[in-house]
Amino acid sequence: MTAKIIDGKLTAAEMRVELRQEVAKLKDEGIVPGLGVILVGDDPASQSYVTAKEKTCEELGIYSDDNRLPADITQKELITRVSKMNADPKINGILVQLPLPKHIDEGQVLLAISPDKDVDGFHPINIGKMVAGQKAFLPCTPHGIIQLLVRHGVTLEGAEVVVVGRSNIVGKPIANMLIQKSKTGNATVTVCHTKTRNLAEHTKRADIIIAAAGKPGTITADMVKNGVVVIDVGVNRIDDPTKKSGFRLVGDVDFEAVKEKAGLITPVPGGVGPMTITMLMYNTVESAKRAAGKI
């Protein structure tokens, strides 16, 4: 058996067509979704990510308010900028790109974002609503994982899911989302991590494995059963002298070996990654609809 590849780029592209059509309909009604983006400093990775978000906004017809601020901005000045976006009716979603400079308390800045505009889904109020099963903005990467599973016909209800990783960005929220009483939940979830004993005992019984540990080779072929669905969230750089850059990107899963046993598997890159920005745009459109009383 060789696994079917879950193409995140293709799924993201399909969702963006749907979003572009929805944005066009909203514009016909005088509603223009808007995303406010704040980037502090000149970190190359953050700059690249923010630029990609701005291009996606343009592609979908979403208004983008781009704020690139100096690295020595004070925390008070940054929170003031966030507060202005909170009050701006043209802005439906606010994204503060992380990481922030060390002299700024990230938690306080994220807390300053209005929960109604928290399209990243990291505000404690939205996290609390998510855990309680209430309507909330869902964190983008976990929400993207759910979309990949559902759109590839994976049955979640009753499935044995093993999540490897317990970060606030992926591990904890995806586990919470999958146990909810909902069309995209009702799974039985085990959360594993670096202190888990005998990790393979858990992964071998899984129908679905979500690897988000941030360590290459965490999941190997002898740790999975035939036909398993594998979602690899890891993005790790390893040395590769054959590449011009001197490195290549790999996930947390031994892709070449595991794909010979899995039923479905995501590659790295090209799997989960493309979904994250798409779900950010999805949340922004949802926020615009809420503000207009459409939902």
Position 93 scores a pLDDT of: 98
66 catalytic residue (yes or no): no
Are 73 and 193 in a shared domain?
Answer: no
Residues of the chain with pLDDT under 50: none
34-40, strands of its sheet edge to edge: 63-69, 34-40, 93-96
Instruction: Please choose, from the candidates 8, 292, 14, 2, the residue with its C-alpha nearest in 3D space to the C-alpha of residue 149.
Output: 8
Are 242 and 148 in a shared domain?
Answer: yes
Position 1 scores a pLDDT of: 67
Number of domains in the chain: 2
Q: Is 201 exposed, middle or buried (0-12, 13-18, 19+ CB in 10 A)?
A: exposed
Are 161 and 262 in a shared domain?
Answer: yes
Q: Tell me how far apart the alpha carbons of residues 286 and 295 are, in angstroms, rounded to a whole number.
A: 8
225 catalytic residue (yes or no): no
Residue 234, domain member (yes or no): yes
Residue 54, domain member (yes or no): yes
Q: Annotated catalytic residue: which of 120, 207, 232, 254?
A: 120
Residues 172, 165 contacting (CB under 8 angstroms):
no
Residue 34, domain member (yes or no): yes
Are 251 and 170 in a shared domain?
Answer: yes
- pTM score over 0.85: yes
Are 149 and 86 in a shared domain?
Answer: no
Position 45 scores a pLDDT of: 81
Q: For the domain that residue 241 is a member of, what is the CATH number?
A: 3.40.50.720
Residue 184, domain member (yes or no): yes
Instruction: Please choose, from the candidates 129, 135, 65, 131, the residue with its C-alpha nearest in 3D space to the C-alpha of residue 95.
Output: 65
Are 163 and 214 in a shared domain?
Answer: yes
Are 144 and 271 in a shared domain?
Answer: yes
Position 145 scores a pLDDT of: 98
Are 144 and 196 in a shared domain?
Answer: yes
Query: Which residue range(s) make up the domain with 213?
Result: 140-275
Position 280 scores a pLDDT of: 97
Q: Tell me how far apart the alpha carbons of residues 268 and 261 are, in angstroms, rounded to a whole number.
A: 17
Residue 60, domain member (yes or no): yes
Are 213 and 270 in a shared domain?
Answer: yes
120 catalytic residue (yes or no): yes
Q: For the domain that residue 56 is a member of, what is the CATH number?
A: 3.40.50.10860
Residues 135, 88 contacting (CB under 8 angstroms):
no
CA within 13 Å, CB half, 80: 6
Instruction: Please choose, from the candidates 285, 293, 291, 246, the residue with its C-alpha nearest in 3D space to the C-alpha of residue 87.
Output: 291
Residue 23, domain member (yes or no): no
Q: Annotated catalytic residue: which of 9, 25, 27, 53?
A: 53
| Cβ density class 9-29: b for 16+ within 10 Å, e for less | eebbeebbeebeebbeebeee
Residue 295, domain member (yes or no): no
Q: Annotated catalytic residue: which of 97, 147, 207, 252?
A: 97
Residue 59, domain member (yes or no): yes
